[in-house]
Amino acid sequence: MSQSKSSGLLLRLLASGVLALTAASLSAQTKNSCLDCHSVLPDKLGVTQETFSHDIHSQKGLTCVSCHGGNAANDDPTQAMSKKAGWKGHIDRRQVPALCGSCHSNPDYMRKFDPTLRTDQLAEYHTSVHGKLLASGDTKVAVCTDCHSVHNLRAPNDPQSTVYPVNIAATCSHCHADAKYMKGYSIPTDQFAKYNTSVHHDALTVRGDLSAPTCTTCHGNHGAVPPGVASVPNVCSTCHVFQAQMYEKSSHKAAFDSAHLPGCVVCHQNHAIVHPTDAKLSAQTGGVCMQCHKPGDKCDQARGQILVKLTQLDVAVKQADQALSAADAAGMDVSEARLGQNEARDSLTKARVAIHSFKPDVIGPYVQAGLNTAGKDLKAGQDAMVERDRRRHGLGFSLIAIGLMVVSLRLYINKIEK
Amino acid sequence: MTLLRNVIDWLHDRLEWDDLIAPLKKKTVPHHRLSYWYFLGGITLFLFGIQVVTGILLLLYYRPGASEAFESVQYIMTQVQFGWLIRSIHSWSANLMIFTAVAHMFSVLFLKAYRRPRELTWVSGVVLLALVMGFGFSGYLLPWNTLAYFATKVGTEIAGQVPIIGHPIMVFLRGGEEVTGATLTRFFGFHVAVLPGIVVLVILFHLLMVQRQGMSLPPSVEKEWAVNPSSEHETRFFPNFVLRELMAWYVGLGVLGALAAMFPWNLGVKADLFASAPAGIKPEWYFLFMFQTLKLIPSKVWFIDGEVLGIVAFAVAGLLWLLLPFFENDRAARSRRWITGLSVFALAFVITMSVYGYVAK
């Protein structure tokens, strides 16, 4: 009896001891004395709990100590930030890629958070212009934190992230559009301004197509370098597959290669890629062919033929559209022909893609198919207007008959009421 | 002509309609400067007839169902001979019918035709208006286009806001929690079977009451005739009034034909259940005043949900409107002034809110 009492007491004591230790350890784990001071410190040294709570690292359970070392559980700043506690202090820019890479290049460690995440960013960075210049001692170039930010680092799919597709161009422009900062690198600083005028920028920001190209799509992200002259068509062809296939087989491919011209960019430019119009084929201002070709040569003749064909189809599609709109406005149902117009527009798009073959014969069948469809749609629109007129004539006769009936009734009523 | 005469005589010998039309020939109706207002009810009846005929013709080709409805209406409009005209007339006539029914109601109100002993005629008339609006709401969905789909979604959602019974009503109307093909089939059933059956019965009652009690005389004309009995003028119901009514119907037919031919009713785009609602979507014009009012009520009024408050207020107003004639007490002149004031306010409110709803973004 007495033995059982004493063993019960012992158990209770043990249990309370374990609980107390667990509580102390939890408190030590969750305590972050860094923020006690740094949340009220100014500028660069200031990090609030609110800011850090949005950081992906904070959300995954990492703390200040994970990067800066030290002992966040200790309230005494001198001990918390002592060498003995492993405190690293401010991370030098030159050390940033290696520090980030210590986790992000470790597949075993990263797998715990996201098995799909790549772990070759640091290796890629070393091959980039940024990485090479940093290795050569240039500390002005971008390191991880310049693009991804620090203490408020969000996942790339977070719309507020600095590397969310819509924000990437602005992030790159922080340095690349700053002429003063870029002085000495002998590269232009108008890329951002030019990109903002491009069809790619429109697709990304206006149409909200997150797959549309931004800086990193063509230059790479961690391994950012300008694409070489020879690789430009390869870069563009990742999206513009058909154009690239036709260009590869065209006479331009060999000619551009031998002249060391950067393929697509010759006609479309690089950052200011505006929506191409048929005017690019013109021999006048706005045309690009005559930059290299001579008036009247074989290629100029082909250019003329292609332009005539495209203009013909473009005009036919517009005429059919007008006729169908007029019929629509008159309340006539031309939905079937409207659907047909999509086909005609598809043919026009295909014909414009086929320009990259630079052969009138290749473009011809697409143009003809489009002309046939647009012709049918135009007729449908014109027929609808004829039908509308027929209806109106029918209405006119009916109204005359109704009017006569009303007058007759009135006369009859007058007669019987006399 | 002799042949026609012979046929009529032959039929007359067998049907002997003299007895049937004798009371109609004896029957007279008052004829005065405000008589033309009384044609509105007849025109509404005529338009209902047009709806029945064109509705039956549309039924020959219409197929209810989410995968077929839109295509079948498209087929009617493009392939069926005069299909476009029938569908356009059906749509225009539906709108005109609601317009003439509302105009008829307000003319009855301002000419004081609801007074004792015609309270039940008024009640049946208001019920008819509600049923006609039900026709409009159910018929609007049948082409299964985007506007109709979202209008039905919003309309049934509003019905779902009614306290306690709202949600079961919404589920009953939709045939589930969402507007789907089941809703379309259900609305088709309401539109071509349930509502016509009820409406025909109420119309018969309404007409029976009009025939039994004769036409009401506006108080101002009543006074004029009392002061000057020689100005009193009655005309025979048959054929004089009937022929005048026929004239009005012909004019109505002309207007309807002109609207249907000049502005054929648009079919729109097929409903896509996964698409987001088009911006600035609005209900049909006859529901616009309610829609706009509900939009203007704040989301919370004290502790009550604004939308619920609005719906309850409309339900109470509708009930009071239905029972309007019963509020006339012994001090008739005073209560009539009160009712006239209320009618003017109601008309002004409906017009203002409808116009505001139409122009608002």
Confidence (pLDDT) at A49: 84
> Scanning every residue of chain B, which has its alpha carbon at the shortest distance from the alpha carbon of A333?
B78
Share of chain A above pLDDT 90, in %: 58
Q: Are B233 and A417 in contact (CB under 8 A)?
A: no
Count other C-beta atoms under 10 Å from residue A361's C-beta. Answer: 10
Confidence (pLDDT) at B36: 87
Q: Which residue has the tokens 């990090």?
A: A47
Asked if B36 is an interface residue toward chain A (Cβ–Cβ < 8 A), one would say: no
Asked if A394 is an interface residue toward chain B (Cβ–Cβ < 8 A), one would say: yes
* Stretch A259-288: mean pLDDT: 88
For B254, the closest of A391, A402, A417 (CB atoms) is A402
Contact B262 A392 (CB under 8 A): yes
Q: Pull the structure tokens for residue B212.
A: 């039994």
Confidence (pLDDT) at A25: 41
Asked if A393 is an interface residue toward chain B (Cβ–Cβ < 8 A), one would say: no
Q: What angle do CA A257, A262, A263 make, to 5 degrees?
A: 75
Contact B247 A416 (CB under 8 A): no
For A413, the closest of B85, B244, B261 (CB atoms) is B244
Give dist(CA B262, CA A381) in Å, integer. 17
* Stretch B250-257: mean pLDDT: 96
Confidence (pLDDT) at A204: 94
pLDDT tens for A120-148 read: 999 999 999 999 999 999 999 999 999 99
Asked if A9 is an interface residue toward chain B (Cβ–Cβ < 8 A), one would say: no
Asked if B253 is an interface residue toward chain A (Cβ–Cβ < 8 A), one would say: yes
DSSP-assigned states of every residue in B251-306: HHHHHHHHHHHHSPPP---B--TTSPPPTT----HHHHHHHHHHHHS-SEETTEEH
Asked if B193 is an interface residue toward chain A (Cβ–Cβ < 8 A), one would say: no
Which pLDDT band, with edges at 50, 70 and 90, does A14 fall under? Answer: very low
Share of chain B above pLDDT 70, in %: 98
- The C-alpha of B237 sits at a distance from chain A's nearest C-alpha, in angstroms, of 12
- Lowest-confidence segment of A374-378, A396-400, B77-81 by average pLDDT: B77-81
Asked if A415 is an interface residue toward chain B (Cβ–Cβ < 8 A), one would say: no
Confidence (pLDDT) at B220: 86
State yes or no: pLDDT of A23 exceeds 60: no
Confidence (pLDDT) at A15: 47
User: Residue B241 gets which letter from DSSP?
Assistant: I
Query: Which residues from A are below 8 Å from B235, CB to CB?
Result: 417
State yes or no: pLDDT of B193 exceeds 90: yes
Asked if A60 is an interface residue toward chain B (Cβ–Cβ < 8 A), one would say: no
Which pLDDT band, with edges at 50, 70 and 90, does A22 fall under? Answer: very low
For A392, the closest of B235, B243, B261 (CB atoms) is B261
Contact A335 B267 (CB under 8 A): yes
For residue A332, give Cα distances in angstroms to A217, A260, B91, B143: 47, 57, 15, 16
Which pLDDT band, with edges at 50, 70 and 90, does A2 fall under? Answer: very low
User: Residue B255: what residue type?
Assistant: V
> Scanning every residue of chain A, which has its alpha carbon at the shortest distance from the alpha carbon of B260?
A395
> Scanning every residue of chain A, which has its alpha carbon at the shortest distance from the alpha carbon of B235?
A417
Contact A332 B240 (CB under 8 A): no
- The C-alpha of B360 sits at a distance from chain A's nearest C-alpha, in angstroms, of 23
User: Residue B178: what residue type?
Assistant: E
> Scanning every residue of chain A, which has its alpha carbon at the shortest distance from the alpha carbon of B259?
A395
> Scanning every residue of chain A, which has its alpha carbon at the shortest distance from the alpha carbon of B73?
A333
For residue A88, give Cα distances in angstroms to A32, A55, A69, A71, A92: 16, 20, 6, 11, 10
Scanning B299-318 for CB atoms below 8 A from A yields: none
- The C-alpha of B334 sits at a distance from chain A's nearest C-alpha, in angstroms, of 40
Is the ipTM above a cut-off of 0.95?
Answer: no
Nearest residue to A348 via CA among A263, A245, A276, A266: A276
Instruction: Report the residue of A324, A413, A417 to disrupt the B interface, i.e. the one with the largest count of B CBs within 10 Å.
Output: A413
- Looking from the CA of B58 toward its CB, the CA atoms found within 13 Å total 27
Contact A409 B243 (CB under 8 A): yes
Contact B250 A394 (CB under 8 A): no
Instruction: Report the residue of B29, B243, B267 to disrupt the A interface, i.e. the one with the largest count of A CBs within 10 Å.
Output: B243
* Stretch A229-243: mean pLDDT: 84
B233 vs A392, more confident: A392
Contact A395 B247 (CB under 8 A): no
Nearest residue to B260 via CA among B73, B82, B37, B141: B82
Query: Which residues from A are below 8 Å from B267, CB to CB?
Result: 333, 335
State yes or no: pLDDT of A249 exceeds 60: yes
For B78, the closest of A333, A403, A417 (CB atoms) is A333
Contact A402 B257 (CB under 8 A): yes
Asked if B240 is an interface residue toward chain A (Cβ–Cβ < 8 A), one would say: yes
Asked if A416 is an interface residue toward chain B (Cβ–Cβ < 8 A), one would say: yes
A174: Cβ–Cβ under 8 A, 6 or more apart, which residues?
A: A146
State yes or no: pLDDT of B254 exceeds 90: yes
Contact B246 A409 (CB under 8 A): yes
Give dist(CA A377, CA A400) in Å, integer. 35
State yes or no: pLDDT of B43 exceeds 70: yes
Query: Which residues from B are below 8 Å from A395, CB to CB?
Result: 257-258, 261-262
Contact B247 A399 (CB under 8 A): no
For B243, the closest of A331, A333, A412 (CB atoms) is A412
For B74, the closest of A331, A333, A405 (CB atoms) is A333
The mean pLDDT value of chain A amounts to 88
Q: Residue A12: in which H helix or E strand, if any? A: helix A2-30
Asked if A386 is an interface residue toward chain B (Cβ–Cβ < 8 A), one would say: no
- Lowest-confidence segment of A84-88, A329-333, B21-25, B132-136 by average pLDDT: B21-25
Contact B247 A406 (CB under 8 A): yes
Contact B257 A395 (CB under 8 A): yes
Asked if A336 is an interface residue toward chain B (Cβ–Cβ < 8 A), one would say: yes
- Lowest-confidence segment of A24-28, A373-377, B139-143 by average pLDDT: A24-28
State yes or no: pLDDT of A13 exceeds 80: no
Residue pairs between chains A and B whose CB atoms are closer than 8 Å: 56
Q: Are B97 and B132 in contact (CB under 8 A)?
A: yes
Question: For residue A327, with 0-12 CB atoms within 10 Å meaning exposed, 13-18 middle and 19 or more buried, which class applies?
Answer: buried
User: Residue A184 gets which letter from DSSP?
Assistant: T
Asked if A398 is an interface residue toward chain B (Cβ–Cβ < 8 A), one would say: yes
Query: Which residues from A are below 8 Å from B253, CB to CB?
Result: 402
pLDDT tens for B331-351 read: 666 667 888 888 999 999 999
Query: Which residues from B are below 8 Å from A410, CB to CB?
Result: 247
Asked if B60 is an interface residue toward chain A (Cβ–Cβ < 8 A), one would say: no
pLDDT tens for A341-359 read: 999 999 999 999 999 999 9
Instruction: Report the residue of B78, B87, B240 to disrupt the A interface, i.e. the one with the largest count of A CBs within 10 Å.
Output: B78
Query: Which residues from A are below 8 Å from B265, CB to CB?
Result: 331
Asked if A392 is an interface residue toward chain B (Cβ–Cβ < 8 A), one would say: yes
Query: Which residues from A are below 8 Å from B239, CB to CB?
Result: 416
What SS3 state is found at B43?
helix
DSSP-assigned states of every residue in B66-96: TTTHHHHHHHHHHTSTTHHHHHHHHHHHHHH
Count other C-beta atoms under 10 Å from residue A239's C-beta. Answer: 13
Confidence (pLDDT) at A30: 59
Confidence (pLDDT) at A350: 96
State yes or no: pLDDT of A50 exceeds 80: yes
Q: Pull the structure tokens for residue A308.
A: 């005539």
User: Residue B270: what residue type?
Assistant: K
